[in-house]
Amino acid sequence: MKSISGAEAVIRCLIKENVDVLFGYPGGAIMPVYDELYKFQDKVHHILTRHEQGATHAAQGYARSSGKVGVAIATSGPGATNLVTGIADAQIDSTPMVCITGQVASSLLGSDAFQETDIIGISTPVTKWNYQITKASEISEIFAKAFYIAKSGRPGPVLIDITKDAQFELIESFEYKKCKNIRSYFSVPETDPESLKNAAELINKAKKPFIVWGQGVILGNAESEFIKFIEKTGIPAAWTILGLSAVPTEHPLNVGMVGMHGNYGPNVLTNECDLLIAVGMRFDDRVTGNLNSYAKQAKIIHFEIDPAEVNKNVIADVAVLGNVKDTLNDILKFLDKNNHKDWIAKFGKFYDIEFDKVIDREYNKKSGGLSMAEVIKSINDNTNGESILVTDVGQHQMVACRYTKFNQSKSNITSGGLGTMGFALPAAFGAKIGDPNREVIAVIGDGGFQMTIQELGAIFQSKAAVKIVILNNNFLGMVRQWQQLFFDKRYASTEMINPDFVAIAKGYFIEAKKVEKREKLNDEIKKMIQHKGPYLLEVIIEKEDNVFPMIPSGSSVSDVRLE
């Protein structure tokens, strides 16, 4: 093989890793790679986002819907720093992503050259691994390591920074070997057989066991193993927002959502169960509320791939380390076939209370302004639980997660741990690129939409048939709710004077409509779903519509407000 440039080697590495699409924004320090990308565009498709943050969120959406590694690319300086929010989001939500940044020539490093930024130093706290390439000969090995680290074990984002001279430098012979292991890096911890037996003993003896599952079930491709586990044990199971969709909504053992805006029963009964089984979740503060009063009466079993998460927030009586796909399968032979009908019935009673006081009022309003829940109900009615839902951050996110029905996994894409406003619009078109055969619906608040509104351009140019629903209450709704409940209705800097969203969408050549009346909502949702290309539907909702149940910050999970 003839000698090739470092820039060409980058593209060849991506091809060897079966990367078919990447999201990015060109600039001076990454231009040699873009020049080679132009030559290989029949093998690697590049989508031009309108902002580098949009590239990372699109890569996240692509990874979450496809199960592959998402790839984002940007230039040095501001291009690189604009990636940081999306990288941080991917790190806390365990999303596999490789980010490639250009850098000034190695002779200029540390000289404050034009568009030089120490992206390695900046990104170190929010990446699983990062590395700066200064020699073209390093490219193959570093890219192989990067993809292996990003997708192995608990996934996460990796950043590779490449100096401009390394991109121009010639390599005599290009060879690429996929990485299968790294000395001193153990992606999946070894499972102690005794932990399986000890966990099974607690499960078999428990009278009121309760499961909370998280995204680890989805990331481990362990959905079928998890369903076998809950069906054999007969244990009621609730989800964190990132675990949502791993088990079909209508499954009889799926009892709903835990956390600040979760369902009444799962939250209250957390403090009544005698055994709490955590599966692929990390006991985030939005799930646990006040740790001093969280499940103190219960024994704790923690199924987890990341040893750093065990005993970090909640002390486990038994920790079962490993990929839950393996550990759930391995524990089955130790488990008794069981059912807990009386205990499950208690969840049903709490649901009835919640339905009367919250759900029915929101879901089946007859007068006043439209509620967020009514919009989600209409989406359910028109998609039959088969679509991918992408949400931004705020009230609409909690309502959408609470009420959307799902029949298959990898259907709920949202910013969980970081809570990034502006996530949904670019993540939605990334998700559509990642799984083009499924309907992708983005539900976004009027505030978050305006943070990445420019990505309508990327949607139009890439012809991604994303359906966008803006729930517009002319407020930063979640902040306003807190101001109403805890700050005596002092609505400081939360009311918004919004633009004409329909006109803006049409300016990007995207079909759009606005709906304000209840009797027209379902027809407009149906029209949006049936439209062949991208479509934006603005729905005007009640200005002061609140999300309940709600656990006030710092309170116990059993201190749930229903109104």
Is 556 strand, coil or helix? strand
DSSP state of 293: G
CA 271, chain centre distance (Å): 28
- Kindly indicate the confidence band of residue 471, based on its pLDDT and cuts at 50, 70 and 90: very high
Q: Is the bond into 549 cis (omega within 30 degrees of 0)?
A: yes
Inter-helix orientation angle 52-66/424-434, to 10°: 40
- Tens digit of each residue's pLDDT (9 = 90 or more) over 184-207: 899 999 999 999 999 999 999 999
Q: Which of 257, 398, 451, 478 is catalytic?
A: 478
Q: Which residues contact 290 (CB under 8 A, 6 or more apart)?
A: 554, 555, 556, 557
Is 334 assigned a catalytic role? no
- One-letter amino acid for residue 112 of the chain: D
Domains of the chain: 4-171 (3.40.50.970), 193-347 (3.40.50.1220), 365-540 (3.40.50.970)
Q: Which of 17, 52, 304, 362 is catalytic?
A: 52
Query: Is the pLDDT score of 542 beyond 90?
Result: no
- Tens digit of each residue's pLDDT (9 = 90 or more) over 389-407: 999 999 999 999 999 999 9
Q: Which residues contact 184 (CB under 8 A, 6 or more apart)?
A: none
Predicted local confidence at residue 474, as pLDDT? 85
- Kindly indicate the confidence band of residue 563, based on its pLDDT and cuts at 50, 70 and 90: confident
Token pair belonging to 199 = 């966990």
Predicted local confidence at residue 161, as pLDDT? 98
Q: Which of 68, 115, 145, 454 is catalytic?
A: 115
How far CA 232 is from CA of 204, 269, 398, in Å, comes to: 11, 21, 31
How far CA 263 is from CA of 258, 289, 341, 402, in Å, comes to: 6, 14, 19, 8
Is 97 assigned a catalytic role? no
In whole angstroms, what is the distance from residue 560 CA to residue 563 CA? 9
- Tens digit of each residue's pLDDT (9 = 90 or more) over 119-154: 999 999 999 999 999 999 999 999 999 999 999 999
Q: Which residues contact 7 (CB under 8 A, 6 or more apart)?
A: 32, 33, 35, 36, 167, 168
- Kindly indicate the confidence band of residue 460, based on its pLDDT and cuts at 50, 70 and 90: very high
Predicted local confidence at residue 1, as pLDDT? 62
Q: Which of 114, 186, 355, 486 is catalytic?
A: 114
Is 478 assigned a catalytic role? yes
Predicted local confidence at residue 82, as pLDDT? 98
Give me the percent of the chain exceeding a pLDDT of 70.
100
Q: Which long-range contacts (CB under 8 A, 24 or more apart) does 141-144 make?
A: 143/10, 143/13, 143/14, 143/17, 143/98, 143/176, 144/13, 144/17, 144/176, 144/177, 144/178, 144/179
Query: Is the pLDDT score of 183 beyond 80?
Result: yes
Predicted local confidence at residue 561, as pLDDT? 87
Question: Taking the CA atoms of the chain, what radius of gyration do you get in angstroms?
Answer: 24
- One-letter amino acid for residue 234 of the chain: G
Q: Where are the beta strands (DSSP E) in 423-525?
A: 440-445, 467-472, 511-515
Token pair belonging to 151 = 């997708």
Is 454 assigned a catalytic role? no
